[in-house]
């Protein structure tokens, strides 16, 4: 069994408390200003489950799923299958896929996704490499997003704060903490859609007849 490491539950609770406090905010002014990043303490527990790919023959992967807190095997590779469909896409399509998935998973508006695009662009600047707190200029954001109204930027920022992507920093002014899990600048995205068979639910008709029709 692989070593999943220890987890500081108090760190997780601190992050969860912050996320719970901002999830229903509707105005930018309601967002709390944080002296420290609310995201970094729980980074050691970024994923509750660890999936170890054992093989991927014929585009089908078998995986063991462990609880990262306890190291306990939750589900063995014999009980799981992942269908693998690998595609190479150009940079523009890759970015669109990533943003589309974020939008669907977190129910973000186009306004929020566009502001997040500006943030990602800023994170790519040399001055922001490996930084967890960055300065965001509202006027620059308006120009990048091709908007004339400042409130559009603040609407997007408010959504991103509520979704746990960013947090307002207490100082300096106009600085924001960035959640490293969502601020992704890599070259590979894996989308998992998990289906769990309900043993208690009866099938309508014959399964194999349905497959043949």
- The pTM is what? 0.68
- Count of domains observed in the chain: 1
**In 3-state terms, the chain is what percent helix, strand and coil (to 5)?**
40, 15, 45
Instruction: Examine residue 105 and state whether it is found in any structural domain, yes or no.
Output: yes
Range of the domain at 150: 87-178
With cut-offs at 50, 70 and 90, classify the pLDDT of residue 7: very low
CA pair distance 87, 89, nearest whole angstrom: 6
- Alpha-carbon distance values, 211 to 64, 207, 208 (Å): 28, 6, 5
CA pair distance 71, 80, nearest whole angstrom: 18
74-92 tens-digit pLDDT: 777 777 777 766 778 777 7
Instruction: Examine residue 107 and state whether it is found in any structural domain, yes or no.
Output: yes
Beta bridge partners of 34: 169
CATH number at residue 116: 1.10.10
CA pair distance 89, 129, nearest whole angstrom: 25
Contact status, residue 115 vs residue 157, Cβ threshold 8 Å: yes
CA pair distance 24, 30, nearest whole angstrom: 10
Instruction: Examine residue 126 and state whether it is found in any structural domain, yes or no.
Output: yes
Instruction: Examine residue 113 and state whether it is found in any structural domain, yes or no.
Output: yes
More confident residue, 186 or 104: 104
149-172 tens-digit pLDDT: 999 999 999 999 999 999 999 989
């Amino acid at each position: 069994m692989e070593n999943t490491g220890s987890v500081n539950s108090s760190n997780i609770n601190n992050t969860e408390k912050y996320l719970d406090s901002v999830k229903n905010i509707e105005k930018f002014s309601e967002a709390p200003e944080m002296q420290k990043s609310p995201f970094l303490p729980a980074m050691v527990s970024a994923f509750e489950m660890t999936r170890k790919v054992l093989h991927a023959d014929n585009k089908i992967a078998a995986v063991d799923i462990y609880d990262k807190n306890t190291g306990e095997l939750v589900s063995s590779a014999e009980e799981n299958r992942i269908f693998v469909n690998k595609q190479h896409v150009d940079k523009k399509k890759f970015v669109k896929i990533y943003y589309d998935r974020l939008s669907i998973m977190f129910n973000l508006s186009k306004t929020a996704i566009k502001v997040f695009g500006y943030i990602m662009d800023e994170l790519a600047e040399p001055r922001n490499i490996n930084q967890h707190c960055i300065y965001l200029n509202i006027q620059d954001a308006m120009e990048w997003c091709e908007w004339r109204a400042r409130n559009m930027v603040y609407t997007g920022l408010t959504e991103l704060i509520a979704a746990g992507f960013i947090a307002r920093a207490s100082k300096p002014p106009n600085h924001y903490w960035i959640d490293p899990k969502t601020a992704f600048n890599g070259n590979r995205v894996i989308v998992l859609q998990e289906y769990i068979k309900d043993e208690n639910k009866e099938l309508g008709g014959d399964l194999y007849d349905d497959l043949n029709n």
